[in-house]
Structure 1
């Protein structure tokens, strides 16, 4: 009897000794791996920030000895969410400004500004963002008369929701020495009856921004950390900085090296000859958190401010077809230099004229199918005859489904029925290469990736309107929508071998939700809460 007991003891000790020690085991979960088979598992183990194995709990318990085990009680687990097109630093800046999002009238904006001034009496400027005249009863651009009456002595700058137009009071315009005669290529200074209205569109905004006081490094750090905290709350583990300066990148790298920056950031360098020369000579910059390997090129403006470049004039502004922010010749030179490097070209194109021009310029260098993964950002209005060019040149459509559901109330007025019918054609675009990157463009749209997931699948707004969805033939499935904010976005960033799915060897970035967005009623998706967010095996929310 004694010998039998010793034998059993030795066998059990030997069995335990063979188990591999790991940091973490996630168990009793519904794990959407988003692997090639789109398999659903129940458990996985993590060690040193990476996924070691994904399988059943019973199988993993035979092989591994975790320091910590978390039983999720059947909750759904997804790969960490991507936002493939966002303005991470700009979002951080917005958090310190007067929030104008959702204001239903210009009068409401004025009240918000008064309250903001009371709370921030020492600010040199009053800066706000988020107004949208399409939400008001009078849907035309405002002017600065009321601003001047309330704030005659302090400069005020209010950026439109899309970031492509602003309203400034006279004090700010005087500081920038902007006059009715001021002109700038790729922009507009609005003048009415010989007087400035305060509206500056696209490149004209730079006339004002150049005289604004910049933030200190301490202020920038605080903004970035606040933005990071908000991203983790909604399950974002990787963002894409759509247009960063060299100084921005240096600060992000510094914070990464210090350990305070935990979110992963795919950085698009804001294009320009100085940045092009510097970064193409330096080469790709890659760490486990920062990936600098693309350039953001600015094709045209936005539809809401009538700056998107169209093949034919706006239906509600017959003398205006929008404009390019960067000339054809400039873009051609940029693409030529980028093509000779290892960098990716990511170009903002909203109107059908801008999309056609950039698709053709891309084709001049790409020539055929390839693995350069050049992207068009937004692709909101693409002429049907141009859609096949995405396939011909392996161009990735990077879209924001919430743009469709935010614009659907007034897009028909801008475009007319025929052009609107072919706008926001995300399903058609996805079919070209079998891939679609779907983000939010925050802070233009809300930061929550589940909003864009819902918009892509239901083609409805937060109130689940319209019934049946807006141009629902271009809706995508839940499976496709999940891939579009995980694996396909990782592919668009050259990161699909590292992230985007819960698979052996990949970084342990994952999200736990209170409800399963793959099975819950569509109308409830936007209300689903994030319970946990993990980056590299570390719980960050």
Structure 2
């Protein structure tokens, strides 16, 4: 009996110790690390406590008094806020996993070879691909569709250039899209030579082909989003700004997030279509959850420099009497901007050429002059006339740039626009000094997903072979601290999310990545090869390499 009484007493005491009221202070404490908080002082800490997906405390000795469900010794590793890609195409990246990848091709013949391999493997009845860049070929002129039409007389083929602003299609695709020698579309070009179509479409005419693409299933869309998420987590990216989404994809993203299948945080820029504007500006308003933020409109001002579609004030230096083109008239742009200004939405406009930037910046300033804290963004701000820099500020008009564009274009950019216009091109430092900040992104799949290439291009202004030795327009390089801010807290600010993410401070989301090297002090030429050791969103580990 005495023995049974003791057992019963022990059971009672054990039950008391398991009282749900008596819980630990926090979920996890991370110790023995160098933590770059990216707070206002750019301070560092050695320990961080996380509770319910948020940072509970950060510092050093003061965490000793806390009890935790788990303590993690990071063994001297380095912690940074989760990276925010301020301009990318998240959904399009996922789509690309199911299409023929033409990035890195060194000739048109290599493009044809990859198409053949893809079609032999998949047997699809509409071949879609992306990634070719004639600037990387020995013959830098746009190709002709003669060979593709000969090889695939009945199967439509549509191959988008790396920048997304030009496309080569075969005759079957032209016929399906209803394009012939008499077709005229404003805001782009349907190339002809000797009166015959070459298969090259630049900017707006491309929409006629994409309109006849095979319809994606819901399963296709889900697989695309999950594939893109997996690729981003490998690089410590915890928020993506998707620059142009339609309502159906946005609603699918929300559904997958609510179900817990899509953990990536998404800042969605709605594509500028009448249907999207009517729904979000007039009916829905801002949509904000813990992982989704829908509050901006993506507008295309012009095309790309690589396809000579960027709208320039003076003719291109390497093509007589060619100016590129605005994709909408200035009047249409202003009407759309006025409509957005009457809403709570932000406007984010793609502007590459100096003419496009002038139109965008002057319209923004006119509309926003008496509207504080609108944070309208100029996406790319690639070639800016010297007198137009003064339009940027941190309150109304922000620059959003992608540093790897500079190191991708540096081999031919001056040939295209001339020495004088280069003074206002890829001017990230000048933009940052004028506005007080700059949001940084990759623009993948135009460029690679790897954000450490962004960091390297921003600070070293070189390609991965170390060219040029002194850096491309090195005076426009950002410091490492500025670059990290551009990929974290400044990007969060550009999304109206600086109070919830972008730095590791008490009360903010526990979105962070772990590296085994110090991004701020390591040899800069080693940065492109960095590997992320872990990625966390809301305190949950979403990525760990399969092998160290």
TM bucket normalised to smaller: over 0.9
Q: Does structure 1 residue 504 correspond to structure 2 residue 540?
A: no
Separation in 2 of the partners of 1:350 and 1:200?
19
What SS does the corresponding residue of 1:530 show, helix, strand or coil? coil
- Kept in 1: contact 2:24–2:69 (CA 8 A): no
**Structure 2 residue corresponding to 1:533, chosen from 529, 532, 535:** 535
**Structure 2 residue corresponding to 1:47, chosen from 47, 51, 54:** 51
**Structure 1 residue corresponding to 2:425, chosen from 406, 423, 426:** 423
Question: What is the CA-CA distance between 1:456 and the residue it aligns to?
Answer: 0.5
Separation in 2 of the partners of 1:380 and 1:170?
34
Separation in 1 of the partners of 2:316 and 2:192?
19
What SS does the corresponding residue of 1:311 show, helix, strand or coil? coil
Separation in 2 of the partners of 1:225 and 1:254?
13
Separation in 2 of the partners of 1:399 and 1:422?
14
Question: What is the CA-CA distance between 1:368 and the residue it aligns to?
Answer: 5.5
The aligned residue for residue 73 of structure 1 is 75
What SS does the corresponding residue of 2:509 show, helix, strand or coil? coil
**Structure 2 residue corresponding to 1:25, chosen from 21, 26, 29:** 29
Question: What is the CA-CA distance between 1:393 and the residue it aligns to?
Answer: 6.8
Separation in 2 of the partners of 1:67 and 1:463?
46
Q: Deviations over 1:214-240 (max 9, x none)?
A: 210011100100000000011110001
Separation in 2 of the partners of 1:511 and 1:453?
15
- Kept in 2: contact 1:129–1:160 (CA 8 A): yes
Q: Deviations over 1:4-50 (max 9, x none)?
A: xxxxxxxxx9xxx9995211111111100000111110110101100
- Kept in 2: contact 1:405–1:460 (CA 8 A): yes
- Kept in 1: contact 2:393–2:436 (CA 8 A): no
The aligned residue for residue 289 of structure 1 is 291
TM-score with structure 2 setting the length: 0.94
Separation in 1 of the partners of 2:419 and 2:330?
29
Separation in 1 of the partners of 2:394 and 2:150?
56
Separation in 1 of the partners of 2:423 and 2:98?
39
The aligned residue for residue 477 of structure 1 is 479
Question: What is the CA-CA distance between 1:514 and the residue it aligns to?
Answer: 2.5
The aligned residue for residue 274 of structure 1 is 275
- Kept in 1: contact 2:394–2:437 (CA 8 A): no
**Structure 2 residue corresponding to 1:443, chosen from 445, 451, 456:** 445
Separation in 2 of the partners of 1:320 and 1:209?
26
Question: What is the CA-CA distance between 1:112 and the residue it aligns to?
Answer: 1.0
Question: For structure 1, which segment, 390-399 or 144-153, has the greater mean C-alpha deviation from structure 2 after superposition?
Answer: 390-399
Q: Does structure 1 residue 173 correspond to structure 2 residue 170?
A: no
Separation in 2 of the partners of 1:87 and 1:276?
20
**Structure 2 residue corresponding to 1:457, chosen from 418, 443, 459:** 459
Q: Does structure 1 residue 60 correspond to structure 2 residue 63?
A: yes
What SS does the corresponding residue of 1:191 show, helix, strand or coil? strand
Question: What is the CA-CA distance between 1:59 and the residue it aligns to?
Answer: 2.5
- Kept in 2: contact 1:368–1:393 (CA 8 A): no
The aligned residue for residue 359 of structure 1 is 361
- Kept in 2: contact 1:270–1:295 (CA 8 A): yes
The aligned residue for residue 518 of structure 1 is 520
**Structure 1 residue corresponding to 2:319, chosen from 317, 334, 343:** 317
What SS does the corresponding residue of 1:278 show, helix, strand or coil? helix
What SS does the corresponding residue of 1:540 show, helix, strand or coil? strand
Question: What is the CA-CA distance between 1:287 and the residue it aligns to?
Answer: 0.2
The aligned residue for residue 259 of structure 1 is 260
- Kept in 2: contact 1:85–1:241 (CA 8 A): yes
Question: What is the CA-CA distance between 1:153 and the residue it aligns to?
Answer: 2.1
Question: For structure 1, which segment, 369-378 or 531-540, has the greater mean C-alpha deviation from structure 2 after superposition?
Answer: 369-378
Question: For structure 1, which segment, 484-493 or 429-438, has the greater mean C-alpha deviation from structure 2 after superposition?
Answer: 429-438
The aligned residue for residue 4 of structure 2 is none
Q: Does structure 1 residue 186 correspond to structure 2 residue 190?
A: no
What SS does the corresponding residue of 1:180 show, helix, strand or coil? coil
Separation in 2 of the partners of 1:298 and 1:326?
8
The aligned residue for residue 247 of structure 2 is 246
Question: What is the CA-CA distance between 1:392 and the residue it aligns to?
Answer: 9.0
Counterparts of 1:378-417 in structure 2 under 5 Å?
378-391=380-393, 394-417=396-419
Separation in 1 of the partners of 2:406 and 2:105?
20
Question: What is the CA-CA distance between 1:502 and the residue it aligns to?
Answer: 0.4
TM-score with structure 1 setting the length: 0.95
Question: What is the CA-CA distance between 1:391 and the residue it aligns to?
Answer: 2.9
Separation in 2 of the partners of 1:35 and 1:368?
30
The aligned residue for residue 4 of structure 1 is none
Separation in 2 of the partners of 1:26 and 1:143?
58
Q: Deviations over 1:174-204 (max 9, x none)?
A: 1112101111111111111111111111001
Q: Does structure 1 residue 203 correspond to structure 2 residue 207?
A: no
Separation in 2 of the partners of 1:370 and 1:466?
41
The aligned residue for residue 38 of structure 1 is 42
Question: What is the CA-CA distance between 1:61 and the residue it aligns to?
Answer: 2.2
Question: What is the CA-CA distance between 1:90 and the residue it aligns to?
Answer: 0.5
Separation in 2 of the partners of 1:170 and 1:273?
31
The aligned residue for residue 13 of structure 2 is none
What SS does the corresponding residue of 2:55 show, helix, strand or coil? strand
Question: What is the CA-CA distance between 1:212 and the residue it aligns to?
Answer: 1.3
Q: Deviations over 1:370-425 (max 9, x none)?
A: 21101000000000110001139731000000000000001011101111132000
The aligned residue for residue 235 of structure 2 is 234
What SS does the corresponding residue of 2:35 show, helix, strand or coil? strand
